[in-house]
Structure 1
Amino acid sequence: MFKRRRKRYVHHHFKEAVWPTIGWRRSADYMRHRVGRLPGTPYSIAAGFAWGAAISFTPFIGLHILLSAAGAWVTRSSILAGAIGTVVGNPWTFPFIWAWIYTAGVWMLGRDPLELNYAELSLGYLYDHFWAIFIPMMVGGVPSAVIIWAAFFFPLRAMVAKYQVVRRARIAAKKNRQISEGGTGAAV
């Protein structure tokens, strides 16, 4: 009864993640409402989302959701918000994130960056030079993650608190309007 008319395959989900059919603005509005409606306090939601965003600035690809859940659990914040926060790291932002944390790590370690020939860049090259790339990314990722955590937590906590107050007022006004019209809205 509630199934799609046409089954969506894996490539449809990938395409939707890279370029949403509803548009970027509507997708961002949906995400804002989704985060604002999560159960929990503004601290819990904001800290969880900040964990997800911060963990996206580490080179642990494939472990972002697990690491954000662990950080959210330790700080008693929303694990679900942490999973949503990992969306900060996506196919559009990862190249910039990786370039930033690698450059920051090389600078912090005082090393010379690898001379990368982008025409010959492959998984084999990355495998052969794993530690020369991973260690600077890890060193550059830690302070970046701390900064990103704070950059997301404080504005998001204020936004969620305001969203929840406005939403509660709207629900109370609707309930009062239903009562004043003489019914609770339930069918007899």
Structure 2
Amino acid sequence: MRTALWPRRSWPRSVEYVKKRVLRLKATPHAIAAGFAAGVFASFTPLMGFHFILAAFMAWLTRGSIIASAFGTFIGNPLTFPLIWGATYGIGAKILGNHGADHAATHLHEHIWSLKSLWTLILPMSIGGVILGSIGWLMFYFPIRAMISGYQNRRNARIAARNGATTQAAE
């Protein structure tokens, strides 16, 4: 349970690990960026337990990497979910004009098994989630695509230089 809430080493080290794993995926820059961004988008939905499935489906739709989509879902974690849920609910409630919707959220425990009561919470979160998820998709897709493209170009240049040096040495 501890490592789910707080990584063994540190947050910066965990972020660096995920970054290196994403950089080293064997796919096009678009596929990796679209997959990761799909995972970010899925993290903003209220569909707890289905984020991986939704992210994989969205990655497939955008011709993204399904593996990268799994890494993208790490944006949603026990530390960020309260912020994400509050923001998605607030935006969705404003759009729907639910000024009294706060009542449903504060008394959720009384009606947890009522789908009608849950719908008053899920609908605003879904609408807010699509909006914030779309913004998150755009915020992650373009920088990650540029980062992957640069990494792959540098890597290919190193390999070409190494192969050029070995073929010259063999002659």
TM-score by length of 2: 0.87
Looking at structure 2, the residues matched to 165 and 57 of structure 1 have their Cα atoms a distance apart, in angstroms, of 32
2:31 pairs with one of 34, 44, 50: 44
Corresponding residue of 2:88: 101
Corresponding residue of 2:67: 80
**In percent, how many aligned pairs have the same letter?**
44
Corresponding residue of 2:148: 160
Corresponding residue of 1:20: 7
Looking at structure 1, the residues matched to 142 and 112 of structure 2 have their Cα atoms a distance apart, in angstroms, of 37
Unaligned runs of 5+ in 2: none
> How many residues end up aligned between the 2 structures?
167
Shift of 1:87: 0.5
Shift of 1:180: 6.6
Identify, as 1 or 2, the structure richer in helix. Answer: 2
DSSP 3-state at the match of 2:130 = helix
Looking at structure 2, the residues matched to 166 and 30 of structure 1 have their Cα atoms a distance apart, in angstroms, of 19
DSSP 3-state at the match of 2:147 = helix
Shift of 1:69: 0.6
Corresponding residue of 1:62: 49
Shift of 1:164: 1.2
1:151 pairs with one of 139, 142, 148: 139
1:131 pairs with one of 115, 119, 135: 119
Superposed CA RMSD in Å reads 2.2
Letter in 1 for 2:142: F
TM-score by length of 1: 0.79
Letter in 2 for 1:133: L
Matched, 1:90 2:100: no
Shift of 1:143: 1.3
- Deviation per residue, 1:131-182 (Å, 9 max, x gap): 1111111111111111111111011100111111222233444455666777
Q: Tell me: CA distance 1:130–1:121, structure 2 relative to 1, closer, same or farther (3 Å).
A: closer
DSSP 3-state at the match of 1:115 = helix
- Deviation per residue, 1:73-99 (Å, 9 max, x gap): 111110110111110100010000000
Letter in 2 for 1:144: L
**Larger Cα Rg: Structure 1 or Structure 2?**
1
* 2:108–2:118 CA contact under 8 A, matched in 1: no
1:142 pairs with one of 120, 130, 148: 130
Looking at structure 2, the residues matched to 171 and 27 of structure 1 have their Cα atoms a distance apart, in angstroms, of 28
